[in-house]
Structure 1
């Protein structure tokens, strides 16, 4: 499977690695970039706690708008509660913080299913002005129903996303939420969400401002597409992202046979298993109406296993 890559931007800002130095070299302004704080547990003697302390002492914390928590140690053994706790403890210094991403690790550092998370909603409680939250890794991830008035974007990337997390998100009160991106993953790695679990989301009763919806990286992508074809939430969307999963002709046909999608700005289906003929049907139905359709990364099933040989873009 393809591995998740380091973020190149976050919170609308370019991502830059913080590396503690003592030579006083020039750095970007605190508010000009998304700062990634990480350590190499195999090459650095400095633990993440010390690296973060150096970050706070070197970069004006009051100006920091976006923070990326990278590798904090051996992420398959140590969960994210320590870096999250340290960020929360610095809330009185990080007074401009608007965006946090937890677990920006590549496969060479830890496979996505190895990343041990924790209760990430603690950040929402500590930072009422937060507008964007991103998480990579579903193992031990906790997201109880929460309330937050300002959060506009929530992304959870997983090779397998436990249904308890999905239910917690969908039971949350997030009145400002505009963008939701969920990577459901596969059952072999705890991705046990069923289409019925998405009912509160698809019924358009949860997030009135939502206009960008991603339900991605799923081995039940055809079933999701069929449910979305008649889902009330579609009417309020500008972007619909069903990419990175096992979508085939049956799912695409359900989309075309359902409610009109011509109001969308983008329909993202990249990493798919559509035939050329079905891909052309989708383009012909939507592109004349100004919908940008992404059908890149056409995949072929493994061997001769047909639909059973389809795979998600990211699993382990």
Structure 2
């Protein structure tokens, strides 16, 4: 799977593309999620686009911002865009949600996105409720404390283990939803099971209700660990999707702790045979189970299996 379409809603708001040259009346600042993105070959840099945005809307009312392409020609680091956004943090007191790197494959492959340190996005916006970051190359996060963040997602074809450890080492008492697209080693996805242990033992993230450990070559090992993980008892939904989950992983889930309390179990893009799929449905009759995108359980060679999002 490649990311081929832009999102249409974010933070429960419709996306509105900001165009500095559009003279039509603009929507109320807090009624939409504003998307800012540079056209390839644009004569202005992201800093100028951001300043134009702040002049054109009432920044004090902005609730959600989606950042698309931040480069003009040739891919460049996101650092300058992060600096531009955080330098004006005091002008955006109502900002609740931020998506950094909402681009499609034809703009830039996910693993070609040149990232940087995204810690300032959390430290500059203490009122932020939702942060999504797409891209893993050179991605940096330092452990932080943030008292209001309820949703955190890292979408990548290869998530650096240092970022995973930083999330685990952060104080996020309000976090309800965490999704990590772990990716593959070829693109920097070097997370180990030891790195994931803090999310599973139930001692961190006291408000967590949704956990996604996804898009991984370790999906069977993750499923086996989840089967006995204390955190599962307080989850409402669980995603082990997008990876190379096979019969082995589903068998571990069936042999582990009860999952009947879950509202939803997302396993889409998998290598699970029909028999194990049916056993899982029978064991969890009240759970919404997504077993779409079956990739073929007969592919016994691990080299023939692939995660949903890599390059």
TM-score grouping bracket, smaller chain normalisation: over 0.9
TM-score, length of structure 2 as denominator length: 0.96
Give, in whole Å, the separation in 2 of the partners of 1:152 and 1:312: 27
Aligned to 2:306: 311
5+ residue gaps, structure 2: none
What is the CA-CA distance between 1:188 and the residue it aligns to?
A: 0.8
Give, in whole Å, the separation in 2 of the partners of 1:79 and 1:15: 24
8 Å Cα contact 2:4/2:106 also seen in 1: no
What is the CA-CA distance between 1:80 and the residue it aligns to?
A: 1.1
SS at match of 1:184: strand
Aligned to 1:147: 145
What is the CA-CA distance between 1:282 and the residue it aligns to?
A: 0.8
Aligned to 2:239: 241
Distance 1:75 1:82, change over 3 A: farther
Give, in whole Å, the separation in 2 of the partners of 1:145 and 1:95: 23
5+ residue gaps, structure 1: none
What is the CA-CA distance between 1:3 and the residue it aligns to?
A: 2.9
What is the CA-CA distance between 1:26 and the residue it aligns to?
A: 2.3
SS at match of 1:92: helix
Summarize the alignment of residues 166-245 of structure 1 with structure 2, pairs less than 5 Å apart: 166-245=164-243
SS at match of 2:91: coil
SS at match of 1:216: strand
8 Å Cα contact 2:168/2:198 also seen in 1: yes
Give, in whole Å, the separation in 1 of the partners of 2:102 and 2:108: 10
1:214-267 CA deviation, whole Å, 9 max, x = no partner?
Answer: 000001100000000000010010000011110011101100110000000000
Counterpart of 1:93 (choices 91, 94, 98) is 91
Give, in whole Å, the separation in 1 of the partners of 2:255 and 2:5: 35
SS at match of 2:189: coil
Give, in whole Å, the separation in 1 of the partners of 2:2 and 2:301: 20
Equivalences, count = 311
8 Å Cα contact 2:75/2:114 also seen in 1: yes
Q: CA RMSD in A?
A: 1.6
8 Å Cα contact 2:220/2:248 also seen in 1: yes
8 Å Cα contact 1:75/1:110 also seen in 2: no
SS at match of 2:206: coil
Aligned to 1:294: 290
Give, in whole Å, the separation in 1 of the partners of 2:299 and 2:289: 28
Give, in whole Å, the separation in 1 of the partners of 2:263 and 2:73: 38
Aligned to 2:54: 56
TM-score, length of structure 1 as denominator length: 0.95
